[in-house]
Amino acid sequence: EQERAFIEWYPRGYGVGFKVRERLFETQTKYQRLEIYETEGFGKLLVLDGTVQLVEVGEESYHEVLVHPVMLAHPNPRRVLVIGGGDGGTLREVLKHGTVEKATMVEIDDGVVEASYIYLDVAKDLLDRLLKGEEPRAELIIGDGVKYLRESDERFDVIIVDSTDPVGPAKLLFSEEFYRSAYEKLNEKGLYITQAGSVYLFTNELLDAYRAMKRVFDRVYYFSFPVIGYASPWSFLVGVKGDIDFRKVDTRRAEKLGLYYYDPERHETLFQMPKYVRDLL
Ligand code: AG3
């Protein structure tokens, strides 16, 4: 039977919905329930355990903002680690930076990579090359990001966590212990960024993550952005190691990125946060 709408329910009955034409695919992977819908107005929709991961039309409103502010604040990001991000959108944005020599993506669920490759127009060519091991500047590791970071002896300039929410299976990615291993694996100057949930609906999770990061990083910044498909504004947390000012970005390097949502000339507008949240932070 055809479904006519997909709705993600957030706490207290707040819903984010899309009119859909049909469900194209559905499976239970080793880790989660994965669904792909054809929406009426936003291309295909990827859902994990009932939560919206992206819609094709507007996914850049998330991926640009997760990637470019930290990449442009770092003076010379050469080694980048992406944890999660199995759809490839985050890595696609990372590789737009000519400074990047090698990017590693550690995704726990190969089911997400495979379904994204087959059904989504987010990063098809990139995923194809990654799966074949033919992408010269990036590698895909199917594995647990927590374990990878703990055991790896590589060092990174930028670490990007593109995970599901700080509730449920990804919870460990928001723990002080995880932040410590990330801090350790950053080079002398490094930046860490994570998505941190809906400002209004996951305020407590945002506060918890912020406080835990404050105990680990030299400085921590929060910012928010309206993301298409999520209960916006959406929050992001940035941890700084060493001498980097996250309030400043290299707007010259930004010119080649073809940005649509994130405006580096107005970088300071990212830091908008409702007053009651700022008062709590
Ligand atoms: N990763 C962030 C998903 C968080 C969405 N949360 C929600 N809808 N409740 C998305 C993967 C995109 N690369």
Give the bridge partners for 220, in sequence order: 239
Q: Is the CB of 205 under 6 A from ligand 1?
A: no
Residue 230 and residue 122 share a domain: yes
Residue 33 domain boundaries: 5-55
Locate 164 and state its tokens.
């599901």
Q: Is 32 in the pocket of ligand 1 (CB under 6 A)?
A: no
Q: What CATH number has the domain bearing residue 20?
A: 2.30.140.10
Distance (Å) of CA 97 to CA 65, 70, 78, 208: 14, 12, 9, 32
Looking at ligand 1, which residue's alpha carbon is closest to its atom 6? 165
Could you report the per-residue pLDDT of 249-263, keeping only the tens digit for each? Answer: 999 999 999 999 999
User: Which residue of 93, 164, 203, 237 sits with most ligand 1 atoms within 8 Å of its CB, as the best mutation to test the pocket?
Assistant: 164
d(CA 147, CA 172): 11
Is residue 54 lining ligand 1, measured as CB closer than 6 Å? yes
* Per-residue pLDDT band at 3 (split at 50, 70, 90): low
Q: Is 148 in the pocket of ligand 1 (CB under 6 A)?
A: no
Question: Which of the four pLDDT bands, split at 50, 70 and 90, describes residue 169?
Answer: confident
The token duo for 266 is 């107005």
**CA of residue 243 to ligand 1 center, whole Å:** 30
Q: Is there a cis peptide before residue 233, judged by omega within 30 degrees of 0?
A: yes
Quick check: ipTM above 0.90? yes
Are 235 and 96 part of one and the same domain?
Answer: yes
Q: Do residues 31 and 130 both lie within one domain?
A: no
Residues 94, 70, single domain; the answer is yes
Placement of tokens 């792909």 in the chain: 36
The domain total for the chain is: 2
Look at residue 182 in the predicted model and tell me its pLDDT: 98
Is 98 found in the same domain as 140?
yes
- pLDDT surpasses 90 at 236: yes
Q: Is the CB of 166 under 6 A from ligand 1?
A: no
Assess whether pLDDT exceeds 60 at residue 2: no
8-61 pLDDT per residue, tens: 999 999 999 999 999 999 999 999 999 999 999 999 999 999 999 999 999 999
Atom of ligand 1 minimally distant from the CA of 122:
13
